[in-house]
């Protein structure tokens, strides 16, 4: 079980069965949010 985020090193939070990094400036989260934002599904591109 991870205790720290592998990307930013901040402590992770255990909610139910999932572990989350609560750092809003986490580089991995920013990258994945950007990838999702520019995806065909999110921008409704055909």
Res 37: pLDDT? 87
Q: Are 20 and 13 in contact, with CB atoms under 8 Å apart?
A: yes
Q: Are 8 and 21 in contact, with CB atoms under 8 Å apart?
A: yes
Mean of per-residue pLDDT scores for the chain: 90
| Whether pLDDT at 19 is above 80 | yes
Q: CA 41 to CA 12: how far, in whole Å?
A: 29
| Whether pLDDT at 46 is above 80 | no
| Whether pLDDT at 6 is above 90 | yes
Res 4: pLDDT? 96
pTM above 0.85, yes or no: no
Res 10: pLDDT? 97
């Amino acid at each position: 079980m991870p205790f720290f985020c592998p990307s930013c090193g901040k402590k992770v939070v255990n909610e139910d069965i999932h572990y989350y990094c609560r750092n809003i400036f986490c580089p991995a989260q920013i990258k994945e949010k950007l990838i999702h934002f520019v995806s065909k599904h999110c921008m409704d591109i055909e």
